[in-house]
């Protein structure tokens, strides 16, 4: 499938960038256990447009929440890996789905509070489509531009998610979204 190949190229490019930039200085494992670890959490509301293979329409609305913070499992010396956990919901065009997604992203500061991050995405999706209702595992890639200034946070994300297929139920999708929230 061309879409799957594109997602794997997107994922490979992001992981290559992260590996090249961060392994030169050395990765730190379990930095959350260090006394000086700062999570710098953010909570945001999200809204966007999804193009799902199971939907009758080309574009359907999706909304949810995004919680992200400095990764506590693996980190670069300059804290460039941020873990995003998202809860998303869609109920339109014959599709009802709720997903929980995990996306650790290597983030590059662009200056002036702007940054760009890219990384893999893993998800658990409860999808109710015209073909049936199933719980599915998903994988893919995510990228986003973010802006942080004091307590204010906003961003733009794009994500590709491929899911396993169970009894003709699958939920492969592209999502383009915006988010607005608070830095703690």
Q: What is the pLDDT of residues 3-47, one digit of tens each?
A: 555 555 555 555 555 555 545 568 999 999 999 899 999 999 999
User: Alpha carbon of 71 to those of 41, 63, 137, 162, 178: distances in Å?
Assistant: 10, 24, 22, 24, 22
CATH of domain 2-183: 2.40.160.20
When pLDDT is averaged across residues 39-66 and rounded to a whole number, the result is 91
pLDDT of residue 58: 76
Q: If pLDDT is split at 50, 70 and 90, which confidence band does 54 have?
A: confident
Phi-psi region of 58 (alpha: psi -120 to 50; beta: other; left: phi over 0): alpha
* pLDDT reported for residue 22: 45
Residue 163: per-residue pLDDT: 87
pLDDT tens for each residue of 72-94: 999 999 989 999 999 999 998 88
Q: How far is CA 41 from CA 49, 66, 165, in A?
A: 25, 10, 34
- The string of pLDDT tens digits covering residues 101-160 is 999 999 999 999 999 999 999 999 998 888 788 899 999 999 999 999 999 999 999 999
What is the pTM assigned to this prediction?
A: 0.82
Report the pLDDT value the prediction gives residue 130, as an integer from 0 to 100.
80
pLDDT of residue 52: 84
Distance CA 68, CA 66 (A): 6
CB contact set of 158 (below 8 Å; sequence gap of 6+): 142, 143, 144, 174, 175, 176, 177
How large is the average pLDDT for residues 40-61?
89
């Amino acid at each position: 499938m061309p879409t799957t190949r594109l997602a794997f190229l997107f994922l490979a490019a992001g992981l290559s960038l992260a590996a090249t930039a961060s392994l030169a200085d050395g990765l730190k494992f379990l930095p959350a256990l260090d006394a000086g670890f700062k999570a710098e959490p953010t909570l945001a509301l999200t809204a966007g447009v999804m193009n799902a293979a199971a939907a009758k329409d080309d574009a359907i609305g999706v909304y949810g929440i995004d919680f992200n913070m400095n990764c506590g499992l693996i980190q670069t010396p300059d804290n460039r890996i941020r873990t995003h956990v998202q809860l998303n919901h869609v109920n339109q065009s014959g599709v009802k789905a709720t997903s929980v997604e995990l996306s650790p992203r290597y983030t590059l500061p662009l200056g002036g509070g702007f940054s760009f991050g890219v990384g893999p995405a893993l998800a658990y999706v409860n999808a109710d489509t015209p073909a049936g209702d199933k719980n599915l595992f998903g994988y893919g890639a995510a990228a986003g531009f973010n802006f942080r200034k004091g307590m204010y946070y906003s961003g733009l994300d794009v994500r590709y998610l491929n899911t396993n297929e169970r009894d003709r139920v699958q939920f492969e999708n592209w999502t383009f979204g915006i988010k607005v929230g608070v830095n703690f």
